[in-house]
């Protein structure tokens, strides 16, 4: 494949996915990483890409749209169930406390809470709170604020302010995207602010997300890899991405 053909392919990938990775492209196209970097330099010069650590993002901007709850629930459902099974080992002991982020994988985790284990759960997610109310052993503290329709989660100053006074044993966190350079990220600034507050309020931070989230970046970062204690994901994750987590001292659990 000649350079103009590669650069056209890279442009199409950037337009479709918003981001490309040097190592993945080099392996796929059978060329050196330096060749891919030169191609990306050409695209950056032409205003089509912005180079970042390990690859490039589209110069048109990072993704800003989010899938709705129904779409999220149907995406990688089997992996999310397995991740929730593995993450259940990190649930607090009797008398303990936990913070629960919004998200479909977190919702699956709630289904694994032992019915005879008294714990306190704090969440800003309406669907998660609804499930928790059905568990008699759980003391629920619901964080209020303006509820975003796309995630059914409370955001805004009321939510972040309430979380500032809380310190829980463990925080279970979800994300839209994960890379070593940009950390965990999400398209919405208010959602990111609440997620960052959750991270600050947990003694231990356990992130739950399937392997499709790796290698993507959204506009707003809410946690670096160094902020995480544990990541629970599936076996489809790129080994290089997992190595980056371990390099930051993160325990990686594959489900």
At 75-107, the pLDDT tens digits run 557 889 999 999 999 999 999 999 999 999 999
Q: Give strand ranges (E) for the chain.
A: 19-21, 49-52, 55-58, 97-100, 119-123, 138-142, 146-148, 153-155, 168-173, 177-179, 183-186, 202-208, 220-223, 230-233, 251-254
**Angstrom distance (rounded) from CA 9 to CA 28:** 12
* Mean predicted confidence (pLDDT) in 179-208: 96
From the candidate CATH numbers 3.50.50.100, 3.40.50.1360, 2.40.10.10, 3.40.50.970, the one assigned to the domain spanning 69-254: 3.40.50.1360
Least confident of 4-18, 66-80, 131-145: 66-80
Return the HEC string of 67-87: CCHHHHHHCCHHHHHHHHHHH
- How confident is the model at residue 5, as a pLDDT? 80
Q: Which CATH class is domain 3-58?
A: mainly alpha
Query: For the chain, what is the mean pLDDT?
Result: 90
pLDDT at position 68 over 60: no
Q: Which two tokens stand for residue 60?
A: 């048109």
* Mean predicted confidence (pLDDT) in 62-71: 49
pLDDT at position 60 over 70: no
How far does CA 130 lie from the centroid of its chain? 22
DSSP-assigned states of every residue in 104-132: HHHHHHHTTS-TT--EEEEE-BHHHHHHH
Q: Could you read off the pLDDT of 203-216 as tens digits, one per residue? A: 999 999 999 999 99
E strand or H helix at 244? helix 239-247
- How confident is the model at residue 19, as a pLDDT? 84
Cα→Cα distances 39→15, 19, 21, Å:
15, 14, 12
The pLDDT > 90 percentage for the chain reads 71
**Angstrom distance (rounded) from CA 111 to CA 243:** 30
Contact predicate 180/207, CB 8 Å: no
pLDDT range class, residue 73, cuts 50, 70, 90: very low
Q: Where are the domains of the chain?
A: 3-58, 69-254
The pLDDT > 70 percentage for the chain reads 93
Whether 3-58 and 69-254 share one fold: the answer is no
Q: Could you read off the pLDDT of 124-183 as tens digits, one per residue? A: 999 999 999 999 999 999 999 999 888 889 999 999 999 999 999 999 999 999 999 999
**Angstrom distance (rounded) from CA 207 to CA 138:** 21
Query: Half-sphere exposure (CA, 13 Å, Cβ side) for 243?
Result: 3
**Reduced DSSP (H G I as helix, E B as strand, rest coil) percent helix, strand, coil of the chain, to 5:** 40, 25, 35
């Amino acid at each position: 494949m000649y350079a103009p053909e590669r650069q056209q392919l890279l442009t199409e990938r950037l337009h479709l996915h918003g981001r490309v990775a040097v190592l993945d492209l080099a392996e796929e196209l059978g060329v050196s990483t330096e060749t891919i970097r030169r191609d990306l330099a050409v695209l950056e010069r032409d205003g089509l890409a912005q180079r970042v650590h390990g690859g490039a993002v589209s110069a048109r901007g990072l993704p800003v749209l989010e899938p709705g709850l129904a779409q999220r629930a149907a995406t990688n459902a089997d992996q999310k169930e397995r991740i929730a099974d593995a993450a259940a080992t990190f649930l607090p002991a009797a008398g303990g406390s936990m913070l629960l982020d919004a998200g479909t994988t977190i919702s699956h985790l709630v289904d694994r809470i032992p019915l005879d284990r008294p714990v306190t759960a704090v969440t800003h997610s309406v669907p998660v709170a609804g499930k928790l109310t059905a568990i008699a052993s759980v003391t629920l503290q619901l964080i209020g604020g303006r509820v975003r329709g796309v995630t059914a989660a409370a955001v805004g100053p009321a939510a972040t302010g309430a979380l500032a006074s809380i310190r829980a044993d463990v925080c279970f966190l979800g994300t839209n995207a994960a890379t070593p350079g940009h950390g965990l990220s999400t398209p919405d600034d208010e959602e990111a602010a609440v997620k960052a507050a959750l991270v600050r309020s947990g003694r231990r931070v356990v992130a739950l997300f399937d392997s499709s989230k790796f290698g993507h970046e959204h506009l707003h970062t809410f946690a670096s890899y160094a902020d995480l204690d544990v990541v629970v994901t599936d076996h489809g994750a790129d080994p290089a991405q997992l190595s980056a987590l371990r390099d930051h001292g993160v325990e990686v659990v594959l489900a």
